[in-house]
Amino acid sequence: MLILLPPSETKRPDGSGAPLDLSGLRLSELEPSRRAVIDALVALSADEAQAARTLKLSPRQLGEIATNAALWTAPTMPAMDRYTGVLFDALDAKTLDSRARAWLAKNVMIHSAPFGLVGAGDDIPSYRLGAGIRLPGLAPMKKHWREPITAALTAANPDFVLDLRSEAYVALGPVPAETNSAFVRVVSRTESGQVRALNHFNKHAKGALVRALAESGPEISSPEALLKWASLHRIELRAAEPEWQLVAA
């Protein structure tokens, strides 16, 4: 099983790993697309005024320009540790044991604007770039990433993909139509038993689900196996149509 997560706008700074090495990231066929975005982002950082406009930064966020300027030289850390925010705070990968972290590194990928899909254990630097930003000299992120990411997923040929990304990042690289997959929407159950879409707790529920999976470390290769695992762990995951539903606890 391959789980796809969205990134977070907030990230931990610094790191203790060596500078970015694109050859060490999963889905190596994405290297040309990754390099193009990173080079464009570094080049943009040379003009603070233009960078602030392009990245839609407030005066308090101007320090992010220097972060982008250092993408090739800054220290790195595993992607699972780099991101913060509601989803990644619920996942809390830093507090997992080595076996659970190895499960994340094998089974989870995180979708970012500068790197495309990266493994949860891949070492990346901090950065500032959202899915909706268009960098000078590059096509819009959707056009830049859509075909390369879908092609890379086709080549990877996972048994089953659990897509926990936001719709903005799904647009940057849809799962191939022929791949066995499920896009998950988080819902809550009302007192009358009806379900309704959740907004605020959406990310928390996804992070908690992935943490539970990492802690138990299952080998899952089909939707049926995942649904069975969820039932055994008292997690309400429903194979609804057209999207699966994760009922927040």
Structural domain tally of the chain? Answer: 1
> For the residues 32-44, what does the mean pLDDT come to?
98
With 0-12 / 13-18 / 19 or more C-beta atoms within 10 angstroms meaning exposed / middle / buried, residue 171 is: middle
Does residue 153 have a pLDDT over 80? Answer: yes
Rg for the chain, CA atoms, rounded: 18
Question: Which of 215, 36, 33 lies closest to 137, judged by CA?
Answer: 36
Angstrom distance (rounded) from CA 39 to CA 41: 5
Q: Is 97 helix (H, G, I), strand (E, B) or coil?
A: coil
The domain in which residue 29 lies consists of 2-247
Give the per-residue pLDDT at 201: 73
The CA-CA-CA angle for residues 116, 83, 78, to 5°, reads: 75
Q: How confident is the model at residue 197 (pLDDT cuts 50, 70, 90)?
A: confident
Query: Which structure tokens are listed for 175?
Result: 């799962």
Give the per-residue pLDDT at 195: 73
Quickly tell me which residue has 């060490």 as its tokens: 24
Cβ within 8 Å of residue 97, ≥6 positions away: none
Taking only the tens place, the pLDDT of each residue in 166-191 is 999 999 999 999 999 999 999 987 76
Q: How confident is the model at residue 193 (pLDDT cuts 50, 70, 90)?
A: low
Taking only the tens place, the pLDDT of each residue in 118-146 is 999 999 999 999 999 999 999 999 999 99
